[in-house]
Structure 1
Amino acid sequence: MKNVTSLMLALLLQGFLFQTALAQEEKTVMVPLPSQDDFTRGEDGWALGLGLGIEYETAYEGSDEFGFEIDPAGALQWRRGDNIFYFAGEAFGWRGLRADTWLLEALVGFEEGREENDSDKGYLDGLGESDEGLELVLQARHAFTEDWRYWLVSRVVASENGNLGLFGVGRRFGDQLDGSGLEVNLVAVFHDSDYANNGFGITAQQSVASGLDETRISSGLRSVGIDFNYRHHINDSWQIYGEALYEHFSSDVRSSPIARSNYETEIGVGFIYVF
């Protein structure tokens, strides 16, 4: 009887250690969120993922014209513990995990301007080009549990053309800890008058050139929205991702002649190869 009891205890202990090791193997990303690229496989040092994505999206903010666009995907990353530095497209940034429930991020990126020929129907004729420039993005997510099932998110975008803030809640679906699965965020977006008028305002000079009414947008609520992020690991090297966004503009934004639609939306799919 004593031998049987010892054998059972040994089997239980072995099973517990196996499950613990399995869980540790599965958690190969800093946080298990499909929206967060992490190609490091849980190891310090350099990591690289490259791929392509195709998006079907509005031609410009407020447009009722849609089109396809092919963009590069992936990033070059360097990890040290719970910190990842990365270069992705036109952005360079840092992401760090603190106390297992705080994900902090800072990046410097390039903000694309708007051109008159972005509208095939000539809706932007006479408005000229909006300014391009650099933007600083600061973001924080706070999870309610260490498995990142639910969280709060906040983001601040500071640029030469004004400032924008985002606040929302998110949820992760699935039990995977490797960054695959589905993620959903509900957000409210606010902008100051400079940011609002860079996208939707019409000056007196632009009004004369375009024939559109002069428009001045006040600071405040810009939109409410929902976004989905999906990631699937085909094997150790290949990943498929998908994303979809719907943003419903506030009445103040919809009053602008530039906003020919009440919403902005996009959907995209792509693949990444992790080296």
Structure 2
Amino acid sequence: MKKFTGLLLIVCIHGFFLPSAVAQEERTALVPLPSVDDFTKGNDGWSFALGLGIEYETAYEGSDEFGFEPQPAGAVQWRNGDDIFFWAGEALGWRGLRSDNWLFEAAIGFDEGREEGDSDDGRLNGLGDSEESTEFVVTARRALDTDWRYHLVSRVVTGGNGSLGLFGISRRFGDTYDGTGSEISLVASFHDSEYANHGFGITAEQALASGLAETRMSGGFRSIGLDYNYRYYLNDNWQIFGEALYEYYSSDVQDSPIARSNYEAEVSVGFIYVF
């Protein structure tokens, strides 16, 4: 995993500063970013996409255990000009393009929480299951040029388990405007104390049951990370996608007994059929 991430980082950073080619296709997606699902092909009205992906990821935040997990992919979307309403898995939301260089998104999602059984090695024994919760996600992206070759991104996630903020810069590769190609983002994330303790804190009761040291987390810097997205149409209907994510935790997070590793990583690939 570490070798793969290092190779990915070298390749993507090398291409990050290459000059962009002139686009040859008409813009069909709301924005030409592989990280933003758009199955409308530029048409107003309903669009449907259904698929399946396979993820290889850490068992839980801070884990040093990895495993494969199948995940459904696709969405139901309704487009009206520069606005798309969508239902994708456990998220329901809206995104809209404003002034050609601002993309806003608001969604309601679901956090499944963490279970003791997520660790096959028993490293969560005694910590109990964390509560499931509803999350509200607001995202804003600002293009730095006319073709979204570079853009800034910010996101706030808030709900019953606290709040998380993310800020970064992205670079898009490829010359198409249909949402295919590849994209890499460099991001920094911050969490409040409630969110930090939900993932990495240990109460006195949990410490007694698990044998781990009681840990109280404070808010602040959480991690620095890289996120790489790829999307490609095999034909008019079939689409292949992939994502690689690497998140390196801050020293405060690494000091938590729950953090058995100083990073979190995920690689996923899959296919989607666009109706």
On whether the aligned pair clears a TM of 0.5, the verdict is: yes
Question: SS where residue 117 of structure 1 aligns?
Answer: helix
2:116 matched residue in structure 1: 116
Q: Deviations over 1:108-154 (max 9, x none)?
A: 00011100010000000000011111000000000011210001000
1:147 matched residue in structure 2: 147
2:40 matched residue in structure 1: 40
2:191 matched residue in structure 1: 191
Rounded to whole Å, the distance in 2 between the matches of 1:174 and 1:46 is 27
Rounded to whole Å, the distance in 2 between the matches of 1:176 and 1:272 is 19
Rounded to whole Å, the distance in 1 between the matches of 2:234 and 2:25 is 19
Contact 2:106 2:137 in 1 (8 A): yes
Q: How does 1:95-134 map to 2 (within 5 A)?
A: 95-134=95-134
1:23 matched residue in structure 2: 25
Rounded to whole Å, the distance in 1 between the matches of 2:25 and 2:196 is 46
- Report the residue type matching 2:96 in the other structure: G
Question: SS where residue 23 of structure 1 aligns?
Answer: coil
2:135 matched residue in structure 1: 135
The alignment covers a number of residue pairs equal to 254
2:9 matched residue in structure 1: none
Structure of greater Rg: 1
1:179 matched residue in structure 2: 179
Q: Deviations over 1:77-136 (max 9, x none)?
A: 000000000000000000100011001000000011100010000000000011111000
1:209 matched residue in structure 2: 209
Tell me the CA shift for residue 23 of structure 1: 3.5
Question: SS where residue 253 of structure 1 aligns?
Answer: helix
Tell me the CA shift for residue 174 of structure 1: 1.1
1:224 matched residue in structure 2: 224
**2:44 corresponds to 1:55:** no
TM-score (norm: length of structure 1): 0.91
Tell me the CA shift for residue 28 of structure 1: 1.4
Rounded to whole Å, the distance in 1 between the matches of 2:25 and 2:267 is 33
Rounded to whole Å, the distance in 1 between the matches of 2:25 and 2:189 is 37
Q: How many percent identity over aligned positions?
A: 68
Name structure 2 gaps, 5 residues minimum: 1-21
Rounded to whole Å, the distance in 2 between the matches of 1:259 and 1:41 is 42
1:6 matched residue in structure 2: none
Rounded to whole Å, the distance in 1 between the matches of 2:193 and 2:94 is 29
1:69 matched residue in structure 2: 69
